[in-house]
Structure 1
């Protein structure tokens, strides 16, 4: 009897356990999965050996890469599978040899519990190649020359830097090969780039290549294709998918000397002590230093200076007098020097005392409301030929003073030279006028002289304009989440005139605080951030811009058509 009761208890317990397991199993959500194929976008052929990374963007701040969830490799047929997935939104990034690395962030994959998402097709674009021979100006192969493909990158105020997209170094035959390059338009720069940047090892340390015996008796000048020293004169080359571009270059191997004299404007004589500095362009994005690795020699007995071992290229010379000097602190603005094929002689740098520039901001028709001025900032940027020297280490001059409640301010320690005015404004205003000693400095350079210092007068106006409109595609349907860019028809070096906005779900947009004038509206389906500041990039799209005129205190209504890829 006891045995039978025991058996009944065990049997009941087993049934209860089985029911609990069955209940727990039924409560667990079924796993989801993703299956698909990676193919060549042109041929449709599968890509074996591609590496796929699965991520979940939920909860990750914008601009940050989500951590990988799973990683897999495509098989011989280019197929892949991600199994045992929870419900949610996923993204896939793909990399394969000879193809552009692609993150399909615009194609989130949304999975429900137990769903199997099949036949996901991921298309990759094949990369391009640039190859050729680099020779010296004497026709000999140039060994150990650094060569880079670079593309311009712009900041929100139009400041330009060049970002590297590929780098290589020539062999003993002068040959180079830049491979796996993303198709696009690039500048090509070659030479002893370590002379200007800290991102390369110095040739003097030896062992730059595969052999410790590699040696260069002299450096090479920095040259942009098609053989110019100024990056603003460079010409784009186009790298195409699956195509090898042949491109030969000539670099100058000889190094030169730059000579000149420093004169103190106050005495007409050369100073007893002066510090001469030579700087090259900051070629690459993120480069901290652009000072040439050679120290100018200054002769205090006659005011002459000499800079030795200067490769061909574009430079800026400046001179400063120490504060300990009996005549006080002084300096010269940057003098542009182009070195090419010969020594440069007779450079004259005139140092003058730093000056203070008083100024005043007034507001048209409003007197001096402090609330409109407490966020305004005034500064000067050194320029040459009307162009800001954003590609050098010269920064804002005179600090960033905040105007007093009555609108007055002072820019201190300003050296004589050429500048462009910069003004950070409170929303709801535009710069109507800016004059220095009566001359227009809003649309032209501001020339500072230590002998005739002047006053800077700035007039703001609250009579801003507004643009309201809708963006449509080629089928005249509204397009959402697209950036609208307002670009002035003239004065395109004035970043304060540019405006941007994004379209809403109905394709509508609004641009506020617009200064009166003539503009063009652009909307690209795909364009690098701030690339519209580059005249060469903007030129092919000029006819596709929508002209618009904005008057004071009015709203212009327009319809804009998107510019396709």
Structure 2
């Protein structure tokens, strides 16, 4: 999965605190068939960790994996991160299981891993499961015309718990489809319709899969909404949009109620500053912009006459008006240094800046930067407002989006206000 791979790369890119690499840890054990007690070969075992994505949504990602050998043994090695982890195993023929034998992560027991630790005997027992077939028909919104050039696939509602890929299936000319070999669980069925016009519509329907095959499932291909808009830079001409790096802009609409991120739309901005989001399903979305130069921030976003930067955009019924986004290159700037208790440079580490009052709808207000070997750092592109800053030798990516996590630093955080275009110099103590 792309999201899993991206977060794996981010998690692997931790910033060291000094020139000496900390000892790595190891988790090992065996996987058995719960009914026969026999060791299982070729089972995927994963080391999982809770983290956050750039939008502040909690995810479970696999940061290490292994496959059991002929004796059912696995070894998760070279674990450089510290903290709470979960161990899970999965296979198409077996129900997923999490140590010590839980069916989901709500009842799983985390393992606290410290540097250089070897945890053995982390054994798992898998129960066989009957794979289910889902048969249905994809129809248009009027239930009469069969959409053509369509495909369907099934996606776990929490796809990043245990990595497992499901293929896509073509929809027949009469709208019929069949999805094969689905383990019981909670899923979305995703229908993708491609019309003759340049418009891609996705339909997402939740489904609970139990132990019996499912027949006559109806997937209604709802008509999507075309959202048009424009990005402009405050006080600038459109000509400034077409020069690098502004051509890297993407306007992102992320569904608020979509844990699987199946309906996220991120069209590129054309050289004249315009963009189109074709076939957007009805729903509530948060807006952000990626690819901005570091000194820029989002000043405003309006859909018609409605301010949607803070409260999100509602796409329902007849959609009128355009989505107009204004960027500013007059963001605030912070320059500073991090010192250790002895008032000398603290060296490598992280500095995190968050809004003083949590603003989960504004991912652009959260910043994290690495300090240099001299402990110095720079943060640019800040929207005017009040912020909190904390420093630490290391942070897991985006964990600072969790208000509870930041609460642990409340006595060590530095508070500041920043205005448009203002330069603030700070000195932080670790």
Report the equivalent of 1:410.
275
Partner of 2:12: none
1:332–1:417 CA contact under 8 A, matched in 2: no
The one-character-per-residue Cα deviations of 1:312-367 (angstroms, maximum 9, x if unpaired) are: 3554422234435xx99663333344545666688654324455322133555x26
1:153-203 deviations in Å (ceiling 9; x for gaps): 88888897945524132768xx544365536443323111xx5xxxxxxxx
- Residues 435 and 335 of structure 1, relative CA distance in 2, 3 Å threshold: farther
CA distance in 1, matches of 2:225, 2:75: 50
Q: Give, in angstroms, the shift of residue 411 of structure 1.
A: 0.8
Structure-1 residue corresponding to 2:29: 131
Structure 2 counterpart of 1:548:
415
Alignment of 1:87-486 (within 5 A): 106=19, 125=23, 127-131=25-29, 133-136=31-34, 143-144=40-41, 145-151=43-49, 162-169=61-68, 176-178=73-75, 180=77, 182=79, 184=82, 185-192=84-91, 219-224=93-98, 227=102, 236-240=110-114, 241-244=117-120, 246-251=122-127, 253-258=129-134, 261-265=137-141, 267-271=142-146, 273=148, 275-280=150-155, 283=160, 292-293=166-167, 295=169, 300=174, 305-313=177-185, 315-323=187-195, 331-337=201-207, 339=209, 349-353=219-223, 355-364=225-234, 366=235, 368=237, 370-371=239-240, 374=243, 375=246, 377-381=249-253, 383=255, 385=257, 387=259, 389=261, 396-397=265-266, 399-402=267-270, 404=272, 407=273, 409-418=274-283, 419-423=285-289, 424-443=291-310, 445-449=312-316, 451-452=318-319, 454-486=321-353
Secondary structure at 1:452 match in 2: coil
Residue deviations 1:263-287 (CA, integer Å, cap 9, x gap): 322x3435254633214366599x9
Distance 1:367 1:272, change over 3 A: closer
State the Cα distance separating 1:456 from its structure 2 match: 0.7
Give the TM-score taking structure 2 as reference length: 0.71
Residues 332/493 of structure 1: CA separation in 2 closer, same or farther (3 Å cut): same
CA RMSD of aligned residues (A): 4.6
Q: Distance in 1 between matches of 2:364 and 2:112?
A: 32
Answer with 1 or 2: which has the greater Rg. 1
Q: Which runs of 5+ in 2 are unaligned?
A: 1-15
Q: Secondary structure at the match of 2:346?
A: coil
Aligned residues, how many? Answer: 399
Distance 1:485 1:515 in 2: 15
Deviation at 1:253, TM superposition (A): 1.6
- Structure number with the bigger relative contact order (C-alpha 8 A, sep ≥ 6) is 2
Mapped to 1, the partners of 2:40 and 2:403 lie a distance apart of 32
Q: Distance in 1 between matches of 2:377 and 2:193?
A: 53
Shift of 1:471: 1.4
Q: Which of 381, 384, 404 is the matching residue for 1:513?
A: 381
Q: Secondary structure at the match of 2:94?
A: coil
* SS of residue matched to 1:334: strand
Deviation digits for residues 531-563 of structure 1, max 9, x if unmatched? 54674995685446615343322444544333x
**Secondary structure in 2 matching 1:371:** helix
Flag the 1:464–1:129 CA change in 2: closer, same or farther, 3 A. closer
What TM-score do the two structures reach when normalised by structure 1? 0.56
Give the distance between the partners of 1:153 and 1:337, measured in 2 at CA.
26
Partner of 1:91: none
